[in-house]
Amino acid sequence: MKVKAALVILILSSLIPNLVLVKEELRKYGNPCFRDEATSYEAKFAELKHFLPENGVVGYITDQQPDAGRQEYYLAAYALAPAVVLRGTNYPFVVGNFHRPVTDEAGANPGLVLVGGSCNGVLLFRNEKVK
Amino acid sequence: MIPSFLVSILMPPLLGFLVVSFLWPRRKAGRDHSLLRLSIGAGTGFGLSALAYFLWLLAVGPESGFILLEGVLLTALAVLFLAGKARRASIAGGTTADLTPKAQGCGAFARSKLDRYLLLIFCGVCISALSAFLLLSARQPHGAWDAWAIWNLRARFIFRSGAQWRGAFTPLLDWSHPDYPLLLPLSVVQGWRTLGAEIPALPAAVGFLYTFSTLFLTCSSLSVLRSRTQGLLAGLVLLGTPFFVQHGASQYADVPLGFFYLSTVVLLALYDGTTGEGRGLLFLAGMMAGCSAWTKNEGILFVAAVIAGRALAVIPFQGWRSYAGEMIVFLLGAMPELLVVGYFKMSLAPPNDVLSAQGLQGVLGRLGDPSRYLYILKSSFLTAFTFTKGIVTLPVLALYFFLLGRHRRRGDGPRVSTGVTALALTATGYALFYVITPHDLAFHLDYSLNRLFLQLWPSFLFCFFLSVRTPEESVASPNVPRSGIMFP
C-alpha cells in the first residue's frame, strides 16, 4: 500500500506540471502578447546593419530612462553585433531608438546629423563633432 | 539545408560517443550501456569540439578547415571503433558473455507490470515535454534574456567578426559578462561555420541535445546502477520539473552545466562499481568536470568540490595512496579543459565583475556580516520549495523516501557519498559567493538562485534515486527502516 501510494504521488506530481506546461505553451504560442522581443529587434534593426561599420563602436540614444530601456539597449547590441553598441553620442555613428515621434533629437544633441531612419523609431545619426 | 544542419549538430555528439566508447571499460561495453554512452557522448562531443575549435581559432583563425579536421577525426575514430568491435566479437565467438541479464545484476530487471506501465507513462510525458520544448523554441528562437544577452551574443560576435574574433571579449560590453567560458558559444559558432550561415535554430538544437541527454543520462545511469524502474521514475521527476524543460529551451548555460555535473557524478559512481579496471571512467569523469569549468565559472568551483568530496569519500576507507592514484587519472582528464580555461581567463577575458569590483576590505566586511548569511539561508530555503515550478520539490521527495525507505547495500557508501559531498560543497561555495557579492544581494539572489538549484537538480535526483529503495525492493521486503531519512 505504501509503495503504491508513493508511486501514485510521484507519478501524478510529475505528470500534472508537465501537462500544464504544454497547455501554457500552446496558449502562448502565436499569441502576440508573448511575442519574442529578440526576433522583433532583429527585424527592427535589420536595415540599419548595412550602414554601420563592422567591428567598430557606435553610440546609442533613446527616449527611455536607462533602467527602463536596459532590455532594449541589450537587444539593440545583440541585433547589431559585431558593432559594439555603447550608450552616448561621442562616436562617429549614433543609433537612435525612439518610442515617441522624434521631433528634434538632433537639436537636443548638437553635432548629430540625421543620416536615415525608418518608421519604427530607429534612426541613424552621424556625429559631425567626432571624426 | 536540412542534411548540412544535421551534420553540424550531430557530428560533435557522434565524436563524443566514439571517444566515450574508447574509454569505457571493455567489460562494461555492450548493448545495454549504449544509451548511457550516447548520453555522455553528446555532451563530451560538444565539450571537446569547442575546446578543439578554440585552439584552432588561436592557431589558424576563423578560416574554414576545422570541419575537415573534425571529419577526418570522426572517420578515423569510427574505423578504429568498428575494427575494435569486430575483433572483440571474434574473440568472444560472436557473443558478449558479460552482457547477459544475469551478469548485469541490477542493471537488467525482468520486466514487471510496473516497469511496462512506467515506460508507457514515461514515453507519454517525454512526448509532452518535447512538445513544450519545441513550442518554447519556436516562440523564442533566440532564447531567453541571458541567451541573447550573453551566450548567443558572444557566439554572434565570434562568428560575425571573422579575424577580429578576439573583439568579442571587449570589456566595453561588461554587462554581457565577456569573462564567461566559451563551451556553449563555441559549440554554436562551429555549427554555424559548418553550415556557413548563422541559423538561429542551431543554439536551440544544442539546448535540445543537452536537455534530453541529461534526461537519458539520468534514466540510463540509474537503470544500470539500480533498476530500470528507478531510472524511469527519476526521468519522470526530471520531466515533471517545468523549470528544467523551460530552461533547456531558453538556451542558457545552466542545463549544459547541470549535464556536466551529472556526468561527473555518474561516472564516479560507475567507477566505484568496478574493481580497478575502470580508470577510463575516472578519466572521463575528469573530462566532464573540466567541461563544466569550460561551460560556466561555477564549474571551476565544482572541480574543486569533486576533488575535496572524493577525498572525504575515499581516504577514510582506502587511504591516501588510493586517493592520489585516482586523482592523477581524474586530473589528467580535466587538464586540457582547465588549461584552456586558465589561458582564456589570463589572456583574453576581462576580469570577473564580482571579483574585480571589490577590495579585500569589502570582502572581509561582507564575510563578517551575519545578516547576509541569514538572508541567503532564508532565500535558499524558500527557493528549494519553488524553483522546480512544479509539484515535485524536496518535501515530496522526502515523503517518497519515507514511504519506500533507504537502499542499503555493502559498498554503496562511496558511490553515493562522493556525489552528495561534491554537491554539498558546491552549494556551500555558491552560498559563499553570494555572501561576498558586491551587487545588491536581494537582486542577485532573485536573479540567479533558482538557476543554481537547477544546475544541481539532475545530480541531486541521481543521488536521491541511488539512495532510495526501488519499488520492487520495497514490495519484496516491506519493512521500511525508520532510521536514515537523510543520505548516508
* Pairwise CA distance, residues B278 & B23, whole Å: 9
**Structure confidence at residue A106 (pLDDT):** 52
Q: Which 3 state secondary structure label does DSSP give B151?
A: helix
Confidence of residue A105 (pLDDT cuts 50, 70, 90): low
Integer CA distances (angstroms), B262 to A50, B77, B285, B319, B460, in order:
45, 26, 10, 26, 8
Supply φ then ψ for residue A91, to 5 degrees: -140, 155
Q: Are B480 and B403 in contact (CB under 8 A)?
A: yes
Average pLDDT over residues B325-345: 96
b/e for B163-192, b at 16 or more Cβ within 10 A?
Answer: eebebbbbeebeebbbbbbbbbbbbbbbbb
Confidence of residue B292 (pLDDT cuts 50, 70, 90): very high
- Cβ-based contacts of B189 with chain A (< 8 Å): none
Q: Are B7 and B193 in contact (CB under 8 A)?
A: no
Residues B399, A86: C-beta atoms closer than 8 Å: no
* Pairwise CA distance, residues B310 & B267, whole Å: 13
Comparison of pLDDT for B63 and B24, the residue scoring more: B24
Statement: residue B94 has pLDDT above 50: no
What is the distance in angstroms between the CA of the first residue and the CA of the last residue of chain B?
52
Average pLDDT over residues B146-168: 93
Average pLDDT over residues B264-270: 95
**Structure confidence at residue B486 (pLDDT):** 32
Supply φ then ψ for residue B486, to 5 degrees: -85, 170
Distance from CA of B170 to the nearest CA of A (A): 9
**Structure confidence at residue B482 (pLDDT):** 41
Listed in sequence order, the DSSP H helices in B105-151 are: 113-139, 145-146
Structural element, H or E, at residue B463 = helix B441-467
Burial of B488 (0-12, 13-18, 19+ CB in 10 A): middle
Smallest Cα–Cα separation from B241: which of B392, B135, B121?
B392
**Structure confidence at residue B353 (pLDDT):** 76
Name residue, grid cell 578547415: B65
**Structure confidence at residue A117 (pLDDT):** 78
Helix/strand number for chain B, H first, E second: 21, 0
Q: Are strands A57-62 and A112-117 parallel, antiparallel or unpaired?
A: unpaired
Tell me the domain boundaries of chain A.
1-34, 37-127
Comparison of pLDDT for A114 and B259, the residue scoring more: B259
Q: Are B224 and B107 in contact (CB under 8 A)?
A: yes
Confidence of residue B156 (pLDDT cuts 50, 70, 90): very high
A113: its cell numbers: 546629423
Supply φ then ψ for residue B14, to 5 degrees: -65, -45
Could you count the other beta carbons within 10 Å of the beta carbon of residue B370? 7
Structural element, H or E, at residue B238 = helix B228-239
Q: Are B441 and B375 in contact (CB under 8 A)?
A: yes
pLDDT tens digits, one per residue of B174-184: 899 999 999 99
Statement: residue B304 has pLDDT above 80: yes
**Structure confidence at residue A103 (pLDDT):** 61
Name residue, grid cell 511496462: B116
**Structure confidence at residue B411 (pLDDT):** 65
Statement: residue B356 has pLDDT above 60: yes
Amino acid at A62: T
Q: Are strands A112-117 and A122-127 parallel, antiparallel or unpaired?
A: antiparallel
Confidence of residue A108 (pLDDT cuts 50, 70, 90): low
Beta bridge pairs of residue A117: A123
Residue B468 per-residue DSSP state = B
Statement: residue A30 has pLDDT above 60: yes
Name residue, grid cell 502562448: A28
Cis amide linkage into residue B351, ω under 30° from 0: no
Residues B240, A22: C-beta atoms closer than 8 Å: no
B187: its cell numbers: 559549440
Q: Nearest Cβ partner of B148 from A2, A18, A78?
A: A78
- Cα dihedral sign for B376, B381, B386, B387? positive
Confidence of residue B235 (pLDDT cuts 50, 70, 90): very high
Name residue, grid cell 553585433: A81
Statement: residue B107 has pLDDT above 50: no
**Structure confidence at residue B65 (pLDDT):** 79
Confidence of residue A49 (pLDDT cuts 50, 70, 90): confident
Could you count the other beta carbons within 10 Å of the beta carbon of residue B320? 10
Q: Are strands A122-127 and A93-97 parallel, antiparallel or unpaired?
A: antiparallel
Integer CA distances (angstroms), B463 to B4, B97, B120, B388, in order:
39, 30, 24, 17
* Pairwise CA distance, residues B38 & B209, whole Å: 11
DSSP per-residue string spanning B318-339: HHHHHHHHHHHHHHHHHHHHHH
Could you count the other beta carbons within 10 Å of the beta carbon of residue B127? 11
pLDDT tens digits, one per residue of B35-93: 999 999 999 999 999 999 999 999 988 877 777 787 788 788 878 877 877 777 676 65
Share of chain B above pLDDT 90, in %: 64
Beta-carbon contacts of residue B221 (< 8 Å; ≥ 6 apart): B36, B231, B266, B269, B270, B462
DSSP per-residue string spanning B412-455: -HHHHHHHHHHHHHHHHHHHHHHHH-SS-HHHHHHHHHHHHHHH
Q: Are B203 and B144 in contact (CB under 8 A)?
A: no
Name residue, grid cell 560538444: B46
Residues A13, B240: C-beta atoms closer than 8 Å: yes
pLDDT tens digits, one per residue of B122-139: 999 999 999 999 999 999
Closest Cα in chain B to A36: B140
Distance from CA of A1 to the nearest CA of B (A): 9
Q: Nearest Cβ partner of B240 from A17, A81, A82?
A: A17
pTM score, whole prediction: 0.92
pLDDT tens digits, one per residue of B472-483: 888 877 655 443
**Structure confidence at residue B485 (pLDDT):** 31
Going edge to edge, which strands form the sheet with A84-87? A84-87, A57-62, A93-97, A122-127, A112-117
Confidence of residue B112 (pLDDT cuts 50, 70, 90): confident
Closest Cα in chain A to B136: A25
Comparison of pLDDT for A35 and B147, the residue scoring more: B147
- Cα dihedral sign for A58, A61, A67, A68? negative
A2 touches chain B (CB under 8 A): yes
Lowest pLDDT segment from A83-87, B5-9, B131-135: B5-9
Interface of A with B in 57-76 (CB under 8 A): 57, 71, 74-75
Residues A6, B131: C-beta atoms closer than 8 Å: no
- Between chain A and chain B, the number of residue pairs with CB atoms below 8 A apart is 147
Helices B201-225 and B34-59, interaxial angle, to 10°?
140
Q: Nearest Cβ partner of A10 from B132, B140, B400?
A: B400
Beta-carbon contacts of residue A55 (< 8 Å; ≥ 6 apart): A82, A83, A84, B161, B164, B167
Statement: residue B319 has pLDDT above 80: yes
Statement: residue B468 has pLDDT above 50: yes
Residues A3, B471: C-beta atoms closer than 8 Å: yes
Supply φ then ψ for residue B231, to 5 degrees: -60, -45
Residues A36, B141: C-beta atoms closer than 8 Å: yes
**Structure confidence at residue B101 (pLDDT):** 35
**Structure confidence at residue A120 (pLDDT):** 81
pLDDT tens digits, one per residue of B368-387: 999 999 999 999 999 999 99
**Structure confidence at residue A55 (pLDDT):** 74
Residue B94 per-residue DSSP state = T
Residues A22, B471: C-beta atoms closer than 8 Å: no
- Cβ-based contacts of A74 with chain B (< 8 Å): 145, 148-149, 175-176
B331: its cell numbers: 586530473
A102 touches chain B (CB under 8 A): no
